């Protein structure tokens, strides 16, 4: 890295720490995106290099899967990790089911069903993450979770995946109570108006389910709208429900000032 300046060297170090790749891979990805670590990491996970599998032991990955798959208490067919196996996995990772890292895990694995992993999802997921042990997976999830709140593309990847993963398969929309529970996990207290949003949904929305459009644009609302709502434009393409929410906030604020 002799030709790199100090800032570039630091970015290479950050990239290699997150991806478990060598310096040449780091430089290759960083140069493509004008040395943005966030964009380079996103590009890496979306389009990993063909040689990436050589950095990990796929036999270890397969062996790990067998430790948790085919639990006799899970009746979901062969070569699958069911609810009991997943629970043991989370225990070994030191995670509660309501930990945001669990949603990061299922998003990276592209899990099709709740509390289940197929062998293909497991192999592809760990290979994409570049890990082949429980300790390495735990460290990777910690790293990804730490950067999630400041990295909008990374947050939205997990956030948007959660909608399809969390809703009932037979339903187009997500049950309101389920959506609220996932929002509390995903935002981790960083959405200042989440409690007001929940209050609004319960009192004004009559328990109606949450559409995918509303779900996705709430993340945009979180990242782009100021706490005082001064830059919210009702003429923009926001969902009607968010327009109604802003009206609700303004109305309650006016009422509190009068009282």
Measure CA 151 to chain center.
11
Q: Are 228 and 250 in contact (CB under 8 A)?
A: no
Residues of the chain with pLDDT under 50: 1-2, 51-54
Q: Are 98 and 109 in contact (CB under 8 A)?
A: no
Of residues 99, 18, 159, the one with CA closest to residue 89: 99
Rounded to whole angstroms, how far apart are CA atoms 69 and 37? 36
Tokens 């990374």 -> residue: 154
3-class SS shares of the chain: helix, strand, coil, % to 5: 65, 0, 35
Of residues 97, 180, 109, the one with CA closest to residue 144: 109
Rounded to whole angstroms, how far apart are CA atoms 130 and 134? 12
3-32: b (≥16 Cβ within 10 Å) or e: eeeeebeebbebbeebbbbeeebbbebbee
Q: Are 173 and 167 in contact (CB under 8 A)?
A: yes
* Element containing residue 81 per DSSP (H, E): strand 80-81
Of residues 163, 156, 169, 208, the one with CA closest to residue 181: 163
Rama region for 247: left / alpha / beta (φ>0; ψ in -120 to 50; rest):
alpha
Of residues 63, 54, 165, the one with CA closest to residue 108: 165
Q: Where are the alpha helices (DSSP H) in 149-193?
A: 152-166, 176-187
Rounded to whole angstroms, how far apart are CA atoms 223 and 122? 32
The tens digit of pLDDT for each residue in 176-192 reads 999 999 999 999 988 98
pLDDT of residue 53: 43
pLDDT of residue 92: 98
Bridge partners, 117 (sequence order):
81
Q: Where are the alpha helices (DSSP H) in 47-133?
A: 58-68, 83-93, 100-109, 119-129
pLDDT of residue 54: 46
Measure CA 159 to chain center.
5
Phi/psi at 147 (nearest 5 deg)? -95, -5
């Amino acid at each position: 890295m002799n030709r790199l300046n100090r800032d570039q060297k630091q970015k290479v170090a950050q990239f290699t720490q997150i991806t478990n790749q060598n310096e040449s891979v780091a430089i290759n990805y960083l140069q493509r995106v004008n040395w943005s670590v966030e964009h380079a990491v996103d590009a890496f996970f979306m389009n990993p290099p063909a040689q990436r599998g050589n950095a990990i032991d796929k036999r270890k990955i397969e062996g790990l899967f067998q430790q948790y798959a085919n639990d006799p208490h899970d009746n979901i067919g062969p070569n699958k990790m069911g609810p009991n196996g997943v629970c043991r996995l989370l225990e070994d990772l030191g995670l509660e089911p309501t930990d945001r890292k669990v949603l990061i895990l299922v998003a990276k694995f592209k899990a099709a069903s709740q509390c289940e992993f197929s062998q293909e999802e497991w192999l592809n997921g760990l290979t994409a993450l570049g890990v082949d042990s429980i300790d390495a997976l735990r460290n990777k999830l910690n790293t990804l979770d730490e950067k999630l709140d400041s990295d909008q593309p990374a947050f939205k990847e997990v956030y948007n995946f959660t909608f399809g993963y969390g809703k009932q398969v037979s339903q187009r929309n997500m049950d309101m109570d389920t959506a609220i529970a996932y929002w509390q996990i995903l935002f981790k207290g960083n959405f200042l108006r989440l409690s007001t949003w929940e209050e609004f949904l319960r009192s004004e929305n009559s328990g109606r389910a949450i559409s995918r459009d509303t779900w996705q644009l709430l993340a945009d609302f979180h990242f782009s709208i100021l706490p005082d709502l001064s830059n919210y434009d009702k003429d923009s393409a926001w969902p009607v429900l968010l327009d109604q929410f802003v009206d609700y906030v303004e109305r309650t604020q006016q009422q509190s000032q009068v009282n």
